[in-house]
Amino acid sequence: MISARAHIFDRISFVVLSCTVLLSLVAFMPGGYISSEVAKGYVLIGGVSLAVIAWLISRLIEGKFHVPNSPVIQAVGVLGIVFFLSALFSKVPYLSFWGNGFDQGAFVPLACSLAALFLGAVLYTSRKRVFAFLSGLFFVYIAVALFQILHILIPSATTLGAFFSSTSTPLGSWADLGYISGGMLVAATLVFEFYQPSRVLRLLALKTAVIAIFFLILTNIFSALLVACIAEICILGYKLMSVRIARVHHFPYLAFFASLALIFFVLAHGVLGGSLARVLDVPYTTASPDAKTTLFVARSTLHEEPVFGAGLNRFSQVWFAHRPLRVNESPLWNVPFLSGYSFLFTIGFLSGILGLLAILFFIGTLIVSGVRRVFVAEADTERNFFVFGMYMLALYFVAVMSIASPGIGVTVLGFFSVGLLIAVLCVEGRVRVRTVSFLGEYRIGFFAILGTVSVIILALITIGTATKRFVAVGYFSAGFRAVSDGDVVRADAQFDRASALADIPLFETSRTRLSLAVISRTLSNAGTAPISPTARVLLENAVTTGSVSAQTAVALDPTDPSHSIALGDFLAKLVPLKVENAASSARQAYLAASALAPNYPESYLRLAELDREMGDSAGAIENLRKALLLKTNYVEAYFDLALAYKLKGDTAIARSILSALQARFPNDTAITSALKSL
């Protein structure tokens, strides 16, 4: 028997965990000072850490651990160890552990998601708790859905300073709304077709299902439609089989009509896809690397770093380093993607071969172990269906994470649903719960208590570090607001506070861009007149601050070409000011960027601009031709190439370049104006 005090802390852990999972779906900051993903990440890390602390205190009081004897739990442990080693041996461990904010692909948010899975398996020890969480999930989803409908109809009245487009949603991206809607449909079908829940809960489930189908069609995310359709068909087939075996005349109407609707829109996706969105005027397009490109990047990355990979949360760096040339021809060639086409595959190959094997072990164990424990022949078909429904819910989210790259709210709910499945299997007696007492022997008890207390201290440190980073992001956002207001002094002070709390390269590159803007504005205002003493002080401060920030960003993450380009841009701006070694240092920075990302043409464009500034037309032409070899539709490079030939005196060649460019882009007025100026 669990003591009263231990029971209290178990209940606290249960409540905190439930609230954390629900809040991680919808957390946002009114006013837009902090992004929704950062808010969700902070809620996840802080909430799960508190839940872990409460659960461990309960274990210390009771002197026992109760752990499900499930192979899935063992697979989760393997995942955690591999992810930790990958982050530890990363070239930039700090970013692999934490990310720029609370990136979902970093170790700490991933570890908290896995901890939520484990706690879900050990805390939801009754059907009452499972249905309580599902009820809360339905209420949150319906509230968000009602807000979203209102936001679509009256967007100006519901921005809350954070939702500026009709496709903005508290759940994250528009695609995340589709993924969560699919999961809500599966959960609602499970509850509605289950016999015992109260009439109120069944009515709530029915409303949730109707709303979920509506948003699945509205968001028009094909992967969500497809996976939800397969899950509903499986539930329908299983229920029909159960009804026939038990000879109970209860037709699964909800599963039947949901399956029909989803089958129709999956088959007619090419014809009717997006029709409802067009009617309501909510256009939305997703942008992410396709499977072929992600596989190409993964193969190149694993060839260089096979065992532990490039490190968690470093897809952007390996993307620029290894992406194929054909990407440069697309409109999104300059986008620093944070994930590939699949979330699980991305974190897998970034963790090396061990990471991929750990992901496959987790998915395979979930499928095989689930099949062995779900498909159990017994007379109580009601219990069978409940377990099968939870199995479908877990598989739905795992499938979504396997074929898409959703936001942090979806991934947290996905891992947590696996924990709920294990908890339900324990409740139904299909998975044994091992009880390990650590107070029977002095030596074992000492080390068990020492380890437990160490984990509690680590959780407290994690909360403190996460809070510092959260506040730092707030200062950083306030600095951006000050920049938009034109208050450079206040912006610089806010950036100082942010950098003092957290060493994040994004903070430093932003300060570098701010310093560049200050230098450009000061020189522009001065014109040809001598610079005033006040302006000179401002200029000198901007030069010092920008130089330090640019070099700090490169030092924090020397593998990111964007930091080297930012350093080169800043140093190139100092060339007209006759700063010693500015030109040579800028060239070295651009060359470093080109070495980090050999297929990225922007480095060569910047080198050409530097050559032109130094009066080296031949060098500019050579670098521009390198850029155009990498990106044949690089309009800026063509313009600069024509200008380089003009400065060299070859006006005819410059004219021919612009004429060829005009033939490709006949409606571009800038090209026409440039031709007239020759």
Tell me whether residue 4 is in a domain: no
Q: Same domain, yes or no, for 90 and 215? A: yes
Strand partners, 437: 64
- CA-atom Rg of the chain in angstroms: 28
Q: Same domain, yes or no, for 579 and 628? A: no
- DSSP notation for 41-98: HHHHHHHHHHHHHHHHHHHHHHTEEEEE--HHHHHHHHHHHHHHHHHHTSSSHHHHHT
Tell me whether residue 466 is in a domain: no
Contact (Cβ atoms closer than 8 angstroms) between residue 521 and residue 569: no
Tell me whether residue 457 is in a domain: no
Give how far Cα 577 sits from Cα of 264, 350, 587, Å.
66, 43, 16
Q: Same domain, yes or no, for 271 and 329? A: yes
Contact (Cβ atoms closer than 8 angstroms) between residue 511 and residue 549: yes
Residue that is last in its domain, among 536, 567, 598: 598
Q: Average pLDDT per run of 10 along the chain, which is 678 residues long?
A: 71 95 90 83 96 94 89 95 95 89 91 96 91 93 94 85 84 92 94 74 90 92 93 88 61 88 86 75 79 94 92 92 90 88 95 95 93 70 79 95 94 96 90 83 80 94 94 87 77 86 86 82 69 75 86 90 91 83 90 92 92 86 91 87 83 84 76 73
Give how far Cα 8 sits from Cα of 115, 126, 166, 226, 326, Å.
20, 16, 44, 43, 59
Q: Single out the residue of 337, 357, 338, 361 nearest to residue 348, CA to CA.
A: 357
Residue 1's pLDDT is what?
47
Residue 16 to residue 488: CA distance in whole angstroms: 42
Run of H or E residues at 366: helix 352-374
Tell me whether residue 465 is in a domain: no
Q: Same domain, yes or no, for 608 and 576? A: no
Run of H or E residues at 435: strand 433-437
Run of H or E residues at 68: strand 64-68
Residue 113 to residue 344: CA distance in whole angstroms: 13
Cβ of 315: how many Cβ atoms within 10 Å?
Answer: 27
3-state helix, strand, coil in the chain (%, to 5): 75, 0, 25
Residue that is last in its domain, among 598, 618, 643: 598
Give how far Cα 204 sits from Cα of 140, 169, 340, 397, Å.
11, 22, 36, 22
Exposure letters 359-379 (e unless 16+ CB within 10 A, then b): bebbbebbeebbeebbeeeee
Residues 6+ apart with CB under 8 A from 652: none
Contact (Cβ atoms closer than 8 angstroms) between residue 176 and residue 169: yes
Residue that is last in its domain, among 598, 632, 647: 598
Tell me whether residue 23 is in a domain: no
Residue 76 to residue 124: CA distance in whole angstroms: 18
Give how far Cα 435 sits from Cα of 62, 126, 545, Å.
11, 17, 58
CA atoms within 13 A on the CB side of 8: 4
Q: Same domain, yes or no, for 508 and 655? A: no
Exposure letters 477-502 (e unless 16+ CB within 10 A, then b): bbbeebbeeeebeebbebbeebbebb
Q: Same domain, yes or no, for 234 and 301? A: yes
Tell me whether residue 136 is in a domain: yes
Which tokens is 623 given?
A: 């670098």
What total of structural domains would you count in the chain?
Answer: 3
Q: Same domain, yes or no, for 592 and 665? A: no
pTM, two decimals, is 0.91
Q: Same domain, yes or no, for 564 and 605? A: no
Q: Same domain, yes or no, for 125 and 147? A: yes
Q: Same domain, yes or no, for 194 and 223? A: yes
Contact (Cβ atoms closer than 8 angstroms) between residue 50 and residue 456: no
Question: What domain range is 532 assigned to?
Answer: 503-598
Give how far Cα 296 sits from Cα of 54, 91, 170, 236, 602, Å.
44, 21, 34, 39, 21
CATH number of the domain to which 646 belongs: 1.25.40.10
Tell me whether residue 35 is in a domain: no
Residue 49 to residue 63: CA distance in whole angstroms: 21
Q: Same domain, yes or no, for 74 and 194? A: yes
Which tokens is 182 given?
A: 């699919």
Q: Same domain, yes or no, for 270 and 287? A: yes
Residue 309 to residue 306: CA distance in whole angstroms: 6
Residue 82 to residue 282: CA distance in whole angstroms: 41
Which tokens is 376 given?
A: 């159990």
Asked whether the CA dihedral 571, 576, 580, 581 is positive or negative, the reply is: positive
Tell me whether residue 151 is in a domain: yes
Residue 489's pLDDT is what?
78
